[in-house]
Amino acid sequence: MSRPNLLVRTGRFYVEGFRNMSGWGKQVWIVILVKLFIMFFILKLFFFPNFLKTNFDTDEQRSEHVLDNLTNTK
């Protein structure tokens, strides 16, 4: 039987690794997934919009806004 290609072998390597993972490994993965969900789907979306990307459409407008801020001195 011919040896599976590198991609398949890499895939199997990960699948078997995850399947045989110990208790602490599974716990840690749960923490990672919950953390990433909170960070990217809650914090990033609802609490941390990129101010310049959200409020301005073009880089030119963003530059103008920052220039306004930087030169708006007493």
Partner 1 sequence: MLEAIDVSLVNWSRAQFALTAMYHWIFVPLTLGISFIVAFMETIYVKTGNPEWKKITKFWMTLFGINFAIGVATGIILEFEFGTNWSNYSWFVGDIFGAPLAIEGILAFFMESTFIAIMFFGWKKVSKKVHLAATWLTAIGANLSALWILVANAWMQSPVGMQFNPETARNEMVSFWEVLFSPMAVEKFLHTTSSGFVLAAIFVIGISAWFILKKREIVFARKSIAVAAVFGFLSSIYVIFTGDSSARTIATHQPMKFAAFEGLYNGSERAGLIALGIMSTTDTDESNQNLMDFNMKLEIPNILSYMAYMDWNAFVPGINDLIDGNEKYGIMSAHEKIERGKTAILKLKEFKEAKEAGNTELAESIKAEFQTKDFQENYFKYFGYGYITDPHVLIPSVPLSFYSFHIMVFLGMYFILFFFLSFLFVIRGKLEKHRKFLKLAIWTIPLAYIASQCGWIVAEVGRQPWVIQDLMPTMAAVTKISTSAVQVTFWLFAAIFTVLLIAEVKIMMRQIKIGPKVKEEGGHN
Can residue 57 be called a binding residue for partner 1 (CB under 8 A)? no
Can residue 35 be called a binding residue for partner 1 (CB under 8 A)? yes
Can residue 27 be called a binding residue for partner 1 (CB under 8 A)? yes
- In degrees to the nearest 10, what's the CA dihedral of 34, 40, 43, 46? -130
Question: For residues 3-22, which are near partner 1 according to CB under 8 A?
Answer: 13-14, 16-18, 20-22
DSSP secondary structure code for residue 32 in this structure: H
Selected binder of partner 1 within 4, 8, 11, 31 (CB under 8 A) = 31
Q: Which two tokens stand for residue 57?
A: 């459409």
